[in-house]
Each structure stands twice: as structure tokens, then as C-alpha cells.
Structure 1
């Protein structure tokens, strides 16, 4: 594949559009099989969530790229300094070569193919490493891609072929990793040995801030949905909520009521997704038990002692009141349907709380006061923000998606993905009318005149 990427470096528009069309058919021809494979990997995955949060987003991304690709590929005009006129400057997008994608398990289809769409649109060849936690999905993706693509175009490895760090050690022209910060550090270190540029989509503890001006009922409904989509196994899910102290108990009860309304109290509810593995389930149990042991109040809309929860590997939605820094639930990304709710004295304290921690991948603000909103936007740094809702900044295809600091680096989605996986090569076209030869020796009066002109223009 690397040899082919050098001998055939820049596929034309028609070839790229054909690859995007074939990628769409990979999904369209296997929609139900993908839903079944993903639910088999999770134990149970809501079919609706797989459709709206994975399949439809992939279709949207391909449609957008197909519509705009010709424009993206066109060399961009760049201004030329006056002293170099009538020369021209252009930025010429070119494919990097071979892009590696280390995919996560939580949205296996969408978070695998969305970056692949950007890489293919940019003219690259792609090698995909699926997560070992979704073997049914990975086997199906490998089969479906193999039917539509030559191995020198797009290749899916087996989950057993290479662990993430081994895959990251290969000499890619660009590598994208989506996953935990812990593994992301190892991936970046392994890729660095080849000077491979890396885009890291990580996670962290994304806060939701409830302003004093917020509608608590509205905020409770939207936070409950954002937290329980995919049973909280979402990198941009709200990880904790900061709410004015006087509203803490009332808000928590409203969230609990919304959780009960949306998903009921029956573990066999088809709309509620299972935790991906026994190990992850046990980790969530440990977080809640640690918080309870250290004095936190635990609120759950359903009876957690029903053995069917564990039998279905579904973790009961859980609110934690009175969480402290000493609790594990406030020290690591939760990645499940557990939500600490903390009281703050005022907006300044909420901002300070967020800023005392690693930069989050997402931040959510709820309220009606524009000045309070703008204060939070100006004084906090995060990968992305949704105002008066959760998650939806991710779905904006004209906006970049990416973290900052510990939550990641680099961006993708739409044209931003095309740029990430392209080299924007600057090209200077000299005109025969330029007097640039005046810069050549032997120096004399001509160089003094040119220097004077350049100083006047600087």
C-alpha cells in the first residue's frame, strides 16, 4: 500500500467519489447486519441508537463530502505581497499517503468510518484497526470492506493482528486514534518514533454547568438524554453537573424523573443499551461503591438490586450527590450511566472548578442570561460546546470536532477532516515580469533601490 501511495499519489475527483460511493454501499448493503453485529458485541445495543448515532451520521458525512469535494480539491488563491506581483500564490491540497485509523468500540461504525471518509476524500489510502472489544462488528467490517475495496485502497485488519501500540508503530503518513487518554499517550509515543503526525480524539470529564437562569426541567431532560445515550458510553457525554447549591436536590430529582420516563425501570427495555463488557460493568460498580462508602448520596430511578440488571449487563442509571475529590468517580472519566451532581455557590466557582482540571472534550451550559453564557465561553477552554443541550455540537458537519490538551489534538469532520488528512502545499508561480533577479549578485546600486522599495512596503 505504501508503494502504491507513492507511485499513484493523487487520485482524481472521479476516483475519490467512486471510493466514497463504495464506502456508502458498505454500510447501506449491510445496515441490519451491522446493527446485529454491534448488539452482539454489547450484549444489547439499542437498534435506534445504532441507526441515528452511527449509520445516519456516516451517510450524512459521505453525502457532505461528495457534494463539496470538488471545491475542497481546488487549489486555493492566496494573496501575494505587492513587491512580488504579478506572481501568484496558491495552496494545493495533496493526499498525505497512507492513513492509519485506530478505532474505538463505543460507536464502532461511526467513529471508524467518519475519519476514513475524510482520509478517502483527501485521496489517501486507509488501514483500519478495529477495537478488540467489538469482534463481531470488526469481522463484518473486514468482510464488507474487502468486497468493495482493493486491499491497496482500504484495508481492515483483524482485531487480533496488532494491539494499538503495535499498529501505531507502523510508518503511516498520518495516524488517527480515538480512545482513552491513557492509551492515547502510548499511541503518540509509538507513532513519534516514525515522526508520524497523530490526531488524538480522547475524552475526559466533560462538565455541564447549570446557570441560575436555567430552566431546570428543560436542563434535566436534556442532560438525562445526553448522559444515557449508549448507556453513557460516549466520549462527549456530560461527566458531571455543576448546579447552584439551592437547586441541587430539586435538580437531581428532576434528572432522576427524566431518566425513569425515558428508560423506565425494566432492565429488559430495548431502548437501553448494555455495558460493553463485564470488566467495564465491574468498574462502574466500583465507582458507585467507592462514592457511597465515602459518604455520597446515591439516587437511582430503578431498584439496583434487581438481578436482571447484571444479567443483561445493563447498569442502572445512577446519580451521585455529595461527590468529593477523594472519590474515584471524580478522578477518572466515568464512561457509563453514572452522573455526579455537585453544588456551587455561584458562576465564578463553577468556572474555577472546570479550570482547575484538564481541558474537557466537551462543555455544556444551560441558562438564559447571555452575559453569563459568554463569560463561561470566554473563560473556559474545551474541545467543543453545546449551549442548552448536550452532544449536538458533534453532529454539526461544518464544525470541526476535536479535543484540546488532555482531551486530544487535531480535528476532523467535513472539510476539517479533508484538511487534516491533506498536505496544503504552498506553490509560488513566478511571473516573467518580476524583477527578482535584482536580488542576485553582484550587488550594487540595484540592491539598494530594491531594499528601499521593500522597506517602504513593509
Structure 2
């Protein structure tokens, strides 16, 4: 039974900061409220998502400025598009459809005629823990929070400590929109992410690196807490033999530099037909030169998030070059790059990369693109399948037999054709990885389902009792019934086998 929103209670919100309570106290507060109030109705859920949207929209400028300060340089337009407006489509979709999604469904209609009524409830799990990353600290916490609200849950958000200024703004304003028993934004005052991972929430949702994701899953596993992991990986691109090289090079060059390359969906390496390798690399470099007449003081060029990642990316480039790779960098005249002060790394294209180089295995998460030549598509497929499954895969070319050969021979969280991150546009496709790139998914109904418990309900008005049929004593009638079932299913199986062989 669902319960309506308590409007009067919201009007007297205390605006109490989450920092006033411990992690465990916040969890207990939300769990007690969940049990006290029961399953929220659609109006309550929509109201919570509306407030979540208002939290971002009403403070968008301050949040964008905080993101710029956290990164060092991050374009306002990118922050608005990705971390504010970018949340709205899925949140609006949740509001539009949650009323139908939350309804009890009734499968097994033919069994109901025999007196066995079956139902599927879509119940909230309770308290959801959301651990966000630093690269899109708003989008990748607010969107799953919206799905959790749509499913009827309470939410604890633990943003990344790396983007501390953005977290501070979110934590400052969240109490104006939510009681702590509905949503709480946690800061470093509550300890590190490892402390949050130990909480006995009803579902833990993590976005970040595979290495940290493994530790989160291990901690959650100790408490048998279900986990969704949205991770990363080295996303491959395959350019078809008949593709428009100029168009492919332009779009791949642009995609590699989104957020300074610090996107889990950025292309990491490209396979190009051998005969077109030179043209492709020339066009990528030309695109970067045209778009970036300056870099060091360019407010449109996103900085690497911190010194640790700056040194790691520069180290990957240096290691590859020292082992024989060829480095092509776009450095505007008069600028000395990489620049540790601004944490700006020039767009870098590498050729001649081979096994044994660190960049062959490590996700770059920066403005570096590796390019490989191929003669036969199998060369690219062999390389891709010999590495962990990526979060996404890119194909540039027509939807032809070679595309299906690639799709059928590999595994990835998604496939995108001829442009960047198309699977993120529109709320109907699930977002998630496979294997090392993640488990579980969200966006649209997939997000609602992730944070819901599909609960089976069955009622009998049958004249026969299952309990009696399955307990001693077993009568001659029971033996006859059992033997009939075996013969019946044996007949159907043999008929299916013969029918399948004739196809």
C-alpha cells in the first residue's frame, strides 16, 4: 500500500546538515523513516524528483563555478550541458513513467483460471547508497538518485572527495530541498569512500575505476549488500574500410577531448585500415590544431583533474615513446606543454604502440589517442577480445556485414556508431558495462528496476493442495500423476528436438 506525500512536514523542514550526524546515524534515520512511512505513492516520488531537479537548476551557476575550481579549468558550457541539463532528460522520463512502472502486474492469467493467482509487486528496496566519481560528479550521482526516488527509496549520496568544492555546494543546498531522512549528501567529514562502502544499505551504487569498484564490491559483499558497478575501460574504435575517413577522424578527434579525455565513454584507441593510416592521423592532428589555437590558458580546454593523474598520463606517454612508439602532439607556438601548473596535457596521438607498453593495458582517461593499422578486421577483433570487455565500442562506417562481424565477435557495455556516446541520448537505452567495465545498469526503466525489488505474490483458491501433493504418504494416484508428467515432458522434448533439426 502506498502512502501520500506529507506536505505539512516538508513545510517545516529543519535544513539540518548531514555533517551533524554520523554515517550510521544517517542510515538508521533513513531506514526508520522508510519503515515508518511505508511505500511512497507516485505523487511523493514525483515531488522528490522535482526537488532534485530544482536543487541543480536553482544553483547551476554556483555549481559550474565550483566544477571549474575543482578542475582548474573546466568550461561552463560543458558543466551546464553534462552535469546540470544532462540530468534532466532521465529525471523527466522517470517522473513520466514511474506511475505505470510501480503498478503490480499479473502474469500467469491461465493459472488464475485454475485458482492460482500470481502477482509481481515492484517494491522499493529501502535505503540506497550512491558513490559518485569526480569526472561528472553531479550527473553520475543525481541521475541514479532520481531512479532511486522513482522506485520509492531514500538516498545517501557520497560524492568524490576529489571534487570537494562541488560537493560542498551540493551539501550546502541539499538540506533546503530535502530532509535528511529523504536524501543526505555526505562529505569528507564522514570519512573516505571505503567507510561508506561498509554501510549496510539496501543497495550500493558505485561509479568509478575497476580497481576501486572491486574493493567496494568486496566490502558490500561482507554484508550481502547488492551492488551496481559502473566502471571504465579502454574503449576501442574500429574505422571501416569503406568509411569516410575525413568524417571519422574529425568526430574521433573531438570525442577524445571531451572533458579533457576524462570520460568513461571516450574512445581510447582506434583501428584504421592500413592504407588510410596516414590520412587518418593527419586529419586528427589537423582537427586539433584548428580547434585549439591555444591550450595553456584556454578556458575551453579542460585541465587534468589533479597532479596525480597529470603525472600518470604524462608517464604513460613517456613510457610508450621510450619503448619505440611515435608521439604526435599538438602544441601551439610559444607554449610549453605539458604544463604542470595548469595541468594541461597537449592532445597526443601515438602510433607504433606494442604489447609491453603500459598504455597498451591502462585506461588513459586523458587527451591521448592510440592508433593501430589493420589489414583484416580479424586483427582488430583479436586485439579487442584479448583485453577486458570495454564500457563501449565505436564503429565508423555503414551498418554492414563487417559491423555485425565485429558486434557478434566481441563484448562491450554498448556499441556506438559514427559519433560519440549516442547511447546516453534518450532515456530508453540502459547504461552499464560488462565484466571489468561494470555490472548492472541504469537510465530509464532499467534504473527503476535496479532500485526495485520485484516481489512475487501467489494466492491459491484451488481445490487441490500443493502441500498435500508433495508430502507423505504418496498414493498410487500420486505415482500415476508423476509418471504421466515424465511421459508428457519427454514427448514434448523429443518433438522439439526433431523440429529443431529440420530447420
TM-score range with shorter-chain normalisation? Answer: over 0.9
Deviations 1:154-175 (A, max 9, x none): 0111134221222101111110
Alignment of 1:392-431 (within 5 A): 392-431=422-461
Match of 1:72 among 80, 94, 101: 101
Asked if 1:41 corresponds to 2:70, the answer is yes
Q: Aligned residue pairs: how many?
A: 458
Query: Which residue in the other structure is 1:312 paired with?
Result: 342
Alignment of 1:28-427 (within 5 A): 28-79=57-108, 82=111, 85-303=114-332, 306-307=335-336, 310=339, 311-368=341-398, 370-427=400-457
3-state secondary structure, aligned to 2:456: strand
TM-score by length of 1: 0.95
Q: How far apart, in 2, do the equivalents of 1:60 and 1:414 lie? A: 10
Gaps in structure 2 of 5+ consecutive residues:
1-29, 490-503
Structure 1 residue 424, shift from structure 2 partner: 0.3
Deviation above 4 Å: which 4+ runs of structure 1?
A: 80-84, 432-438, 440-443, 448-458
Query: Contact 2:239 / 2:273 at 8 angstroms: preserved in 1?
Result: yes
Q: How far apart, in 2, do the equivalents of 1:86 and 1:226 lie? A: 58
Query: Contact 1:127 / 1:155 at 8 angstroms: preserved in 2?
Result: yes
3-state secondary structure, aligned to 2:356: coil
RMSD: 2.1
3-state secondary structure, aligned to 1:209: strand
3-state secondary structure, aligned to 1:91: strand
3-state secondary structure, aligned to 1:106: coil
Q: How far apart, in 2, do the equivalents of 1:82 and 1:15 lie? A: 35
TM-score by length of 2: 0.86
C-alpha spacing 1:127/1:82, structure 2 compared with 1 (3 Å) = closer
Query: Contact 1:304 / 1:316 at 8 angstroms: preserved in 2?
Result: no
C-alpha spacing 1:9/1:83, structure 2 compared with 1 (3 Å) = closer
C-alpha spacing 1:320/1:425, structure 2 compared with 1 (3 Å) = same
Query: Which residue in the other structure is 2:497 paired with?
Result: none
Query: Contact 2:331 / 2:337 at 8 angstroms: preserved in 1?
Result: no
Query: Contact 1:128 / 1:155 at 8 angstroms: preserved in 2?
Result: yes
C-alpha spacing 1:57/1:395, structure 2 compared with 1 (3 Å) = same
Query: Contact 1:175 / 1:196 at 8 angstroms: preserved in 2?
Result: yes
Q: How far apart, in 2, do the equivalents of 1:431 and 1:441 lie? A: 22
3-state secondary structure, aligned to 1:282: helix
Q: How far apart, in 2, do the equivalents of 1:214 and 1:53 lie? A: 29
Query: Contact 2:111 / 2:117 at 8 angstroms: preserved in 1?
Result: no
Gaps in structure 1 of 5+ consecutive residues:
none
Q: How far apart, in 2, do the equivalents of 1:313 and 1:287 lie? A: 15
